[in-house]
Amino acid sequence: MDTNTSLLDATNNLTQLSDEIKGKQTFTQKIRLPESLNLKNSIFQFIRKMQLGNLEERDIVMKTQQKILQVEREFQSLFDETDSQIIQENYEVIERILTKALYAQLLKGCRVKYDRKIEFYCRLYDFIQPIQFQVDKAIVNHQNFQKAKQQIQNIDACQTPKDKINCIVNACKLMSSTLASQSKNNPTGIDDLLPVMLYLVIQSLPARPLTNIQYIQELRSDKYLLSEEYYLTLYSSVMELIENLQFSDLKEITEKQYNEQIKANYKKYAEFLDAVDKEEEEIKKQEIFKTVSQLQSQLKDFNERLKILEQNKLKFASFPYQQMTLGDLQEFYNEYHIIHKHILDSQLELQKNLKFVNKFIVSKTNPNGIQKIQQEDNSRQSQNNSKQQGLLSFF
């Protein structure tokens, strides 16, 4: 074997070894390689643009969704990834980098208006005992209950969709395994787990529960959320149950006891309720200011476009009609049609925003936020006569 052949074989072996090592590298290692420079720079530039730009929070959420998927595609293409586990690991890192960097804006973009309403209900129902949900007290006394409670309380502190959903999954699994161990080998299902989770969440007093659900749904890839969807759906169902909870849903408590507890807790958490009402009012103010700003911008744009039409495009705006010929009629009609359509489109957009403004102004003369909640509950109750009157009838 000559020297050149040996050198060629050695080079090939080194190349193969280098490829194998590269294949085992993590995303963090690969993104530092020279071939990743453009992709890495695009991530930094995107984050900077979102942080310093003047975009609406909802737009930032949408653009971040798209950017996560774009970076994932480009990265897999760059390194020709085929292992599904590695591909998912790469996605998790990409999701983490972008969502942590833009967390404040993304959370605002996913904000659900009446989050504090659920927070208030959890406090209002803090008198409920396990037996009233037909939950075995042994489950509540189990060490896993406190662990699951901590998981629920940790959701709001997490900044990535993956970390938030992990808290929900962990809490559900802890309660599911505890329920199974207490059932003495009897089969358990969702009907058994749901009341346990309902009691757990009320006791946990989660912060911004609806916003955190929305955050996960908006920013977690459907592909990877699929395996976690059962737990997210279960958690979302618990929120709906809390919002719609009625006296008739409880066991081992009289209506008189229920009414007394509701009244007492309403007084106990009156300050919290006032804060909820003020926050909702502030949200409405922000919405109206935003809409007024949009109206001003649209009016300005509308006027500018009319000026341009008048100055540059309106041939017949000051055309002597006595000089118009039959040959001009088609062109005159086309010009009129363009202006007419432009005005109608602008009017529709303006009317849409004006309706919002009017709705807000009218609402200022209506009862305050909690009375609106009462009206919503009363409306819901009227559709279901089999249920007892809800909690807000006592306010």
Mean pLDDT across the chain, nearest whole number? 81
Q: What length is written for the chain?
A: 395
The reported pTM is 0.71
Residue 57 CB coordination number (10 Å): 16
Distance CA 173, CA 167 (A): 10
Q: Looking at the predicted structure, is the pLDDT value of residue 374 above 60?
A: no
Model pLDDT, residue 62: 95
Model pLDDT for residues 45-59, shown as the tens digit of each residue: 999 999 998 888 889
**Are 132 and 250 a contacting pair, CB within 8 Å?**
yes
Q: What pLDDT does residue 366 have?
A: 52
The tens digit of pLDDT for each residue in 59-69 reads 999 999 999 99
How many Cβ atoms are within 10 Å of 188's Cβ, its own excluded?
Answer: 15
3-state secondary structure 48-65: HHHHHCCCCHHHHHHHHH
Q: Quickly list DSSP for 254-318.
A: -HHHHHHHHHHHHHHTHHHHHHHHHHHHHHHHHHHHHHHHHHHHHHHHHHHHHHHIIIII-TTTT
Distance CA 347, CA 23 (A): 58
The pLDDT assigned to 82 comes to 86
Residues 299-310: tens digit of each pLDDT: 666 666 666 555
Domains defined for the chain, CATH in brackets: 18-108 (no CATH), 113-268 (1.20.1050.80), 277-394 (no CATH)
On whether the CB atoms of residues 122 and 276 are closer than 8 A, the answer is no
| Separation between Cα atoms, residue 78 and residue 87, nearest integer Å | 12
d(CA 344, CA 87): 50
pLDDT score at 372: 46
